[in-house]
């Protein structure tokens, strides 16, 4: 049944950077006032982004085009006076679209990426609230040579979103590039790409990408089953440096530097595959199998869950395992990626200060609000969650004698709590009960409690041993180390943060400009690394600029910590079974 609400966006003047919005709400009305609320955050991105900041030129009219009285209320609200016998209310406004991220609106002369929570005001009261669960009409007007891609059913600029969540989840990408489509296991998969600089991607690279995506898709289907929704859209944005990904019910927007599809940048290409796999997996893990707290979404305030280590960390782990199982990655690629993750893990000390559950709960104020000292007391539920999943998988496979792993646990939870008619969400207790009911998992409940609720690092060494994977330090000999992280800004080398145990922490500050070390001008970060490498036990004189004042600082050069990050063999039967294709 139609909701009687139409959401229209006019993008026919893309160079203006403004979308012109018209939302029409038809009678009946249930009160003398209608309250509209603008979403304050985007599902999948746990930060109050306040997209209403980009709205201006608000006008409200009735069916006779008569202007109606309205007031702004709270940080997100619009209160509209409804006259007697009003048949329709039209809310018109402009939305500025300039943020080039996967979670916001962006429009220029070459494309539009429409993010619904950054676009639509929604009725909260003044109508029967059940209307928001009915079918909404969405209209998008674009330049003649553009085509529109979206997960919402419809065509030719008119689409029909089944309920509020479908409406808010229905991203739209419009540009002149042809939508590519192919069938996998009877399911239609579509790709719509855009390059931020207008760079043309070679056809053979797109064909290679589709070939590898197909491998990944088939492996997902082999694990979770062929999805009943039968259609999926991947929107790819290629940029100079920006990257990111955001999941939706039957689509994703993924952004990567354009070099990922150029010859000679295989590491970046493999990261593109990883990103796609991660967002594709979210169809099952977070979009259908959800935390109880997300049912329904309340987009007007922070919604806390202790389970982002499961929904993001677990998705990162399994997404990459599926890249490996499918053959899109080979074992060498996985080892190289694993090394980078372990290096990040060992460079911080947050696991002794923050648990995975706490990190998940505080995502709104921690992960999305980093500071230069965050690695000393905070962790990423993405990275550390992935490492805990790896360790839990090793334990479960070992104790079940290879019968099953944590991917099977995820599938069972999805079947029980994420399928149509049974999307009741999960809490920690559901995960623990299901885990301990599996063969080999009976004694893993306390293991999991400790891993995610206590402030301890995961026992990666034991997990590697269980999988028969030998791991050793990267450096063949002792080297010196400042423990500094720097960025290059307008030709200047700036201190950005410190690694765990850094000897420079007490002397230098974030945003210090490093001018010279022991009389040598510093123009690149690699100069610092090279100097420290050969001067273990010595001291270095840093000439810095702090807030525009030249200062001299003496920094001791310590031995670089030697952490095991390099995998040197191909594992045992348990590991080979873990990475074997399920097709």
The continuous run of DSSP H or E covering 147 comes out as strand 147-150
**Using one digit for the tens of pLDDT, what is the confidence trace for 51-68?**
999 999 999 999 999 999
Both 145 and 185 in one domain: the answer is no
Question: How far from the centroid of its chain's Cα atoms is residue 112's Cα?
Answer: 20
**Using one digit for the tens of pLDDT, what is the confidence trace for 394-451?**
999 999 999 999 999 999 999 999 987 778 899 999 999 999 999 999 999 999 999 9
User: For position 6, which CATH number holds?
Assistant: 2.60.40.3650
Both 316 and 465 in one domain: the answer is yes
How many angstroms separate the CA atoms of 162 and 159, rounded? 10
SS3 86: coil
**Using one digit for the tens of pLDDT, what is the confidence trace for 28-55?**
999 999 999 999 999 999 999 999 999 9
CA distances (Å), origin 359, targets 107, 343, 365, 371: 34, 20, 10, 15
Both 527 and 443 in one domain: the answer is no
Distance between first and last Cα of the chain? 40
Is residue 272 a contact partner of residue 285, using CB atoms and an 8 Å limit? no
Both 186 and 316 in one domain: the answer is no
Banded model confidence at residue 548, pLDDT cuts 50, 70, 90: very high
Domain boundary residue, one of 175, 200, 233: 175
**Using one digit for the tens of pLDDT, what is the confidence trace for 174-223?**
999 999 999 999 999 999 999 999 999 999 999 999 999 999 999 999 99
Provide the number of structural domains found in the chain: 4
Pairing of strands 471-473, 564-567: antiparallel
Determine the pLDDT at residue 474. Answer: 79
Both 279 and 162 in one domain: the answer is no
Determine the pLDDT at residue 393. Answer: 99
Percent of the chain with pLDDT over 90: 96
303-308, Cβ contacts within 8 angstroms, sequence gap of 24 or more: 304/361, 304/364, 305/360, 305/361, 306/357, 306/358, 306/360, 306/361, 306/428, 307/357, 307/360, 307/426, 307/427, 307/428, 307/431, 308/46, 308/359, 308/360, 308/363, 308/381, 308/385
SS3 33: strand
Is residue 350 a contact partner of residue 497, using CB atoms and an 8 Å limit? no
Range of the domain at 554: 480-559
Residue 378 has pLDDT above 90, yes or no: yes
Helix orientation angle between 383-399 and 314-326, rounded to the nearest 10 degrees = 70
Both 313 and 441 in one domain: the answer is yes
Q: Is residue 394 part of a domain?
A: yes
Domain boundary residue, one of 472, 506, 534: 472
Place of tokens 């919402």: 152
Both 446 and 359 in one domain: the answer is yes
**Using one digit for the tens of pLDDT, what is the confidence trace for 313-326?**
999 999 999 999 99
Both 341 and 450 in one domain: the answer is yes
Q: What are phi and psi of 408, to 5 degrees?
A: -65, -35
How many angstroms separate the CA atoms of 559 and 479, rounded? 6
Is residue 58 a contact partner of residue 29, using CB atoms and an 8 Å limit? no
Q: Is residue 506 part of a domain?
A: yes
Q: Is residue 578 part of a domain?
A: no
DSSP letter for 15, please.
Answer: G
Both 340 and 426 in one domain: the answer is yes
How many angstroms separate the CA atoms of 557 and 535, rounded? 7
Both 130 and 184 in one domain: the answer is no
Both 492 and 459 in one domain: the answer is no
Q: Is residue 564 part of a domain?
A: no
How many angstroms separate the CA atoms of 260 and 194, rounded? 14
How many angstroms separate the CA atoms of 369 and 358, rounded? 15
**Using one digit for the tens of pLDDT, what is the confidence trace for 489-512?**
999 999 999 999 999 999 999 999
**Using one digit for the tens of pLDDT, what is the confidence trace for 268-282?**
999 999 999 999 999
Both 88 and 211 in one domain: the answer is no
Nearest residue to 308 via CA among 293, 324, 323: 293
Q: Any residues with CB less than 8 A from the CB of 71 and at least 6 apart, and which? A: 78, 79
Determine the pLDDT at residue 506. Answer: 96
Place of tokens 């995502």: 363
Query: Is the previous residue joined to 296 through a cis bond, with omega within 30 degrees of 0?
Result: yes
List, in sequence order, every residue forming a beta bridge with 517; answer none if it has no partner: 520, 542
Pairing of strands 154-155, 158-162: antiparallel
């Amino acid at each position: 049944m139609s909701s009687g609400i139409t959401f229209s966006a006019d993008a026919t003047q893309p160079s203006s950077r403004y979308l012109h919005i018209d939302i029409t709400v038809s009678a009946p009305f249930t009160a003398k006032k209608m309250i509209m609320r603008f979403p304050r955050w985007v599902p999948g991105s746990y930060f109050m982004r306040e997209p209403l900041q980009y709205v201006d030129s608000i006008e409200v009219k009735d069916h006779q085009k008569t202007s109606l009285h309205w007031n702004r209320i709270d940080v997100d609200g619009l209160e509209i006076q409804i006259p007697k016998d009003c048949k329709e209310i039209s809310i018109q406004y402009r939305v500025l679209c300039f943020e080039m991220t996967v979670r916001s609106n962006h429009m220029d002369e070459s494309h539009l990426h429409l993010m619904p929570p950054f676009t639509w005001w929604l009725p909260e009261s003044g109508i029967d609230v059940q209307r928001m669960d009915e079918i909404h009409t969405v209209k998008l007007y674009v330049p003649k040579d553009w085509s529109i891609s979206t997960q919402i059913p419809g065509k030719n600029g008119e689409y029909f979103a089944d309920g509020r969540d479908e409406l808010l989840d229905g991203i739209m990408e419009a540009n002149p590039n042809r939508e590519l489509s192919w069938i996998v296991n009877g399911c239609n998969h579509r790709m719509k790409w855009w390059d931020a600089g207008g760079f043309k991607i070679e056809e053979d690279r797109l064909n290679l990408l589709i070939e590898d995506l197909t491998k990944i898709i088939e492996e997902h289907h082999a694990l979770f089953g062929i999805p009943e929704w039968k259609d999926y859209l991947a929107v790819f944005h290629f940029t100079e440096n920006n990257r990111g990904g955001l999941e939706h019910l039957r689509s994703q927007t993924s952004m990567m530097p354009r070099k990922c599809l150029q010859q000679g940048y295989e590491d970046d290409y493999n990261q593109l595959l990883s990103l796609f796999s991660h967002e594709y997996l979210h169809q099952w893990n977070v979009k259908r199998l959800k935390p109880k707290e997300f049912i329904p979404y309340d987009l007007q305030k922070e919604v806390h869950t202790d389970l982002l280590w499961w929904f993001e960390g677990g998705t990162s782990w399994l997404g990459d395992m599926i890249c490996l199982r499918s053959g899109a990655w080979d074992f060498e690629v996985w080892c190289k990626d694993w090394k980078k993750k372990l290096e990040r893990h060992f460079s911080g000390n947050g696991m002794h200060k923050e648990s995975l559950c706490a990190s998940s709960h505080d995502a709104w104020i921690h992960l999305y609000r980093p500071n230069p000292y965050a690695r000393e007391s905070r962790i990423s539920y993405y990275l550390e969650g992935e490492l805990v999943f790896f360790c839990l998988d090793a334990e479960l496979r070992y104790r079940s004698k290879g019968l099953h792993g944590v991917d099977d646990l995820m599938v069972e939870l999805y079947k029980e709590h994420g399928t149509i008619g049974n999307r009741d969400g999960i809490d920690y207790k559901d995960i623990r009960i299901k885990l301990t009911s599996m063969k080999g998992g009976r004694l893993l409940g306390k293991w999991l409690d400790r891993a995610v609720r206590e402030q301890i690092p995961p026992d990666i060494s034991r997990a590697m041993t269980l999988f028969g994977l030998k791991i050793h330090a990267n450096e063949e000999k002792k080297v010196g180390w400042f423990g500094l992280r720097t960025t290059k800004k307008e030709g200047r080398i700036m201190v950005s943060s410190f690694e765990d145990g850094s000897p420079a922490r007490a002397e230098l500050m974030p945003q210090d400009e490093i001018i010279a070390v022991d009389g040598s001008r510093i123009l690149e970060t690699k100069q610092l690394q090279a100097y420290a490498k050969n001067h273990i036990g010595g001291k270095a004189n840093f000439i810095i600029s702090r807030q525009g004042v030249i200062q001299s600082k003496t920094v001791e050069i310590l031995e670089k910590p030697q952490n095991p990050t390099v995998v040197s063999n191909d594992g045992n039967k348990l590991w080979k079974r873990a990475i074997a294709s399920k097709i």
